[in-house]
Amino acid sequence: ITVVFIGDGAPTGNYGYTNSGYSVYEEENERLTESLRTKVSAIKSLSIEIGTEVKNQNKMLSEMDNDFDSAGGLLGATMGRLRTLSRGSQTKLLCYMMLFSLFVFFVIYWIIKLR
């Protein structure tokens, strides 16, 4: 039996691709294709996770915005009440402060006297 070689020494039954450089290139291409497929899959899942996280963060920011708006409204109402209170009679407020000061003075005086 005689074996005829084609190209770089491949037997004729394998169409000249087994021992030639083509087989090596095909295997390398398959390996690189599989590696690329794995990386693309990882990037896809990562981008889906990022999208989910962005949606959750936007939802949380929206809720915080609503909370701050309600707190701002409450603070505005409180400031309005304080303005109304400050426009009221100053003499009544001054009288309350004097009575409180006298009360504190007598309590301190009483504590010192008992010692």
Q: How confident is the model at residue 21 (pLDDT cuts 50, 70, 90)?
A: low
Cα torsion 88, 91, 92, 96: sign: positive
Average pLDDT, stretch 58-72? Answer: 91
Q: Break the chain into its structural domains and give their ranges.
A: 30-114
Which amino acid is present at 47?
S
Residue 10 has what pLDDT?
A: 47
Residue 8 has what pLDDT?
A: 47
3-state secondary structure of 18: coil
3-state secondary structure of 6: strand
Question: 9 φ, ψ to 5°?
Answer: 105, 25
Residue 20 has what pLDDT?
A: 59
CB within 8 Å of 8: residues ≥ 6 apart: 19, 20, 21
Q: How confident is the model at residue 82 (pLDDT cuts 50, 70, 90)?
A: confident
Average pLDDT, stretch 31-35? Answer: 95
The helix/strand count (H/E) of the chain reads as 2, 2
Residue 1 has what pLDDT?
A: 55
65 or 89, which is more confident: 65
